[in-house]
Amino acid sequence: MYLNNIASKKPKQRLKELVIFFYIYMILEGMLRKWLIPTLNKEIYFLKDFFLICIYSYAFKHKFLFEKKISKIFTIFIISILFFGAIGYNFNKIEVLSFIAGARSYFLFVPLFFIIVHTFSIKDIKKFVKINLYFILPYYILVLFQTYSPHEAYINSGYKSLVQNPERPSAYFTYITQNTYYFLFLITSYYSYLNGQSSLGKKKLFLSSVLIFLLMGIMILLKSRAVYVYTFAIIIYSSYINFVSNENKSLKFKKLIILLIITPIFFSINTSLFENQYKFSAERINKDDYKSMSFYKEYKGHEFKNEFLIKLLKKFGHTDNLFGSIREFCIKNSSICRVINEIYFFPSLKYSSFFGEGLGAGTPMVVHLSEKKQFYLGEAENHRIIGELGYFFGTVLVLFKYLFFVFLNLKFFFSKRIKNKLLLFPFLIFVTVTFLIGPITYTTSFISFICWFTLGILLTSENENKNTS
């Protein structure tokens, strides 16, 4: 009966449901691989490719994949990346299978962005945000159980060799970094829900308070430096946009109460409940590690420093002025310096060639296929892209990412055509972070998927305008 109902629905509605199904599958894929059917690990990993081929074929058939103007620009850009990537492979005599795997890492989820833009509406985004709220409680319970269970417990089983620190829970996923991005997306969804409310009665206030309590607990249990920095930024940002919004004073006040009073109180309570976990994170955040300010990651067999950052901080080495204080702050907060290292990619140009090593040469699958050392081209996204595509086109692609980020932010801040800015702005923060320092081309995991998925959500406003007109 259900299948018959789906078959009778219009293509647009069917595509929406398929996309949501795929989103849920991407969350649960890790559970299948490491707990339920570990013997079919590889088969399950490639199952998403089959799902996507079906979705893309259906979208292409019903003309929901590309627009003429966008598709031309997009096609030229993809061909350029493939061309430079292929030349790099030819020079380095790397097999064709590795090239295909590299192209897969770069482009597997990109068409999904176009499908979301052309099919989803603001109303759909509101529904999707609410769906995400239902995931918070089971997510909290799972992370809690993983934290207080022995490392040998079945709930903590699975790909420990990939986990840099077994003390950190991986939740549904096979790797802790994927779990970090999932939390970032969940808390983004929460603030999108909060910002998008046109009224906050007692029930919604209670629900919002319970959810933020759970999220603050998860944040501490994850023991990730990134989630602290991101959560702080999104709270401040959401507070600002709510403060300057045109909503009535009563609604503003209620939202700001949750953001600036209830959230800090619940964070404080959770630090007491999970004292050891909080201390672990605090030590990582405040680690006095001068070396972490430099980019000491291996790149083509070399370990190099971010000389620009080193010289800048050494120049203002006195602690009796503002710049000296900034230097000391950076030394004491290695996380900040890691972000700078991600953005400042120029040191990698020294060791890269004109054509590079080949498309995806530094991604996990290609590393495995070519039996090269992991992180052979650098762990950071931008450094790796330059190593793969060469110092010319690699730099072009990285700068394109930065320009896209600037354009996107200017568009949302100054465009009068975009409606529901309060609802969409949290997703703007997520896209900004992921496109600046996130691995959007690094792997075909949940991370790159959620980056392109969120970009589609963010730009649904364009589709909404067309529908309205």
Does a structural domain hold residue 364? no
Q: Total structural domains in the chain?
A: 2
* Cα–Cα distance measured from residue 361 to residue 85, given in angstroms and rounded to the nearest whole number: 9
Q: What is the mean pLDDT of the chain?
A: 77
What is the pLDDT at residue 246?
A: 76
Of the candidates 209, 87, 205, which has an alpha carbon nearest to the alpha carbon of residue 136? Answer: 209
Assess if residue 336 is contained within a domain: yes
Mode of pairing for the β-strands spanning 302-303 and 298-299: antiparallel
| Mean pLDDT along residues 69-73 | 60
Same-domain check for residues 221 and 322: no
Shared domain check, 195 and 311 = no
Of 466 and 77, more confident: 77
Q: Are residues 208 and 305 in the same domain?
A: no
Find the distance separating the first CA and the last CA of the chain, reported in whole Å.
36
Q: Are residues 143 and 106 in the same domain?
A: yes
Domain boundary among 351, 366, 386: 351
Res. 174: pLDDT tops 80: yes
Bridge partners of 299? 302
Q: Which of 24, 106, 32 is nearest to 442 (CA)?
A: 106
Confidence bin at 278 (pLDDT 50/70/90): confident
Rounded mean pLDDT of 432-457? 83
Same domain? 277 vs 317: no
In a domain, 259, yes or no: yes
**pLDDT level of residue 310 (50, 70, 90 thresholds):** low
**pLDDT of res. 227:** 86
Structure token pair of residue 438:
């996130």
Q: Look up the domain containing 38 and give its range.
A: 11-287+378-468
List pLDDT tens digits, range 151-162.
Answer: 778 888 764 444
367 belongs to a structural domain: no
- Regarding whether 159 and 147 lie in a shared domain, the answer is yes
Specify whether the CB–CB gap between 418 and 424 falls below 8 A. Answer: yes
Among 7-11, 143-147, 313-317, 351-355, the minimum mean pLDDT is found in 313-317
The neighbour count for residue 394, using CB atoms within 10 Å, is 29
Q: Is 298 helix (H, G, I), strand (E, B) or coil?
A: strand
Residue of 55 and 242 predicted with greater confidence: 55
pLDDT (mean) for 21-37 = 90
Residues 163, 30 share a domain: yes
Integer Cα distance of 208 and 173 in angstroms: 26
* Same domain, residue pair 263 and 300: no
Kindly state whether residue 174 falls inside one of the protein's structural domains: yes
Question: What is the number of residues in the chain?
Answer: 469
- In this structure, is residue 82 part of a structural domain? yes
Task: Give the pLDDT score at 160.
Answer: 45
More confident residue, 221 or 244: 221
State the Cα–Cα distance between residues 89 and 100, nearest whole angstrom: 11
Q: Give alpha helix (H) positions in 134-224.
A: 136-148, 176-195, 202-222
**For 73-108, how does the pLDDT look when each residue is reduced to its tens digit (9 = 90+)?**
667 777 777 777 777 665 555 677 777 888 888 888
> Do residue 261 and residue 181 come from a single domain?
yes
| Whole-number pLDDT of residue 433 | 84
List the one residue out of 227, 252, 228 whose CA is nearest residue 238. Answer: 252
Specify if 272 maps to a domain.
yes
The pLDDT, as a whole number, for residue 233 is 85
At residue 299, the 3 state secondary structure works out as: strand
What's the rounded mean pLDDT across residues 47-65? 88
Tokens (6 digits) for 155: 């709930």
The CA distance from 189 to 454, in Å, is: 10
- Least confident segment among 42-51, 269-278, 327-336, 415-424: 327-336
Least confident of 205-209, 330-334, 406-410: 330-334
**Quick one: pLDDT at residue 63?**
80
Three-state secondary structure call for residue 303: strand
Q: What is the pLDDT of residue 71?
A: 59
Looking up tokens 């059917």 gives 37
- Within a domain: residue 208? yes
Statement to judge: residues 207 and 270 lie in one domain = yes
32 and 111 together in one domain: yes
- Category of 203 on φ-ψ map: left (φ > 0), alpha (ψ -120 to 50) or beta: alpha
Could you tell me if 254 and 344 lie in one domain? Answer: no
Give me 245's structure tokens: 């919004």
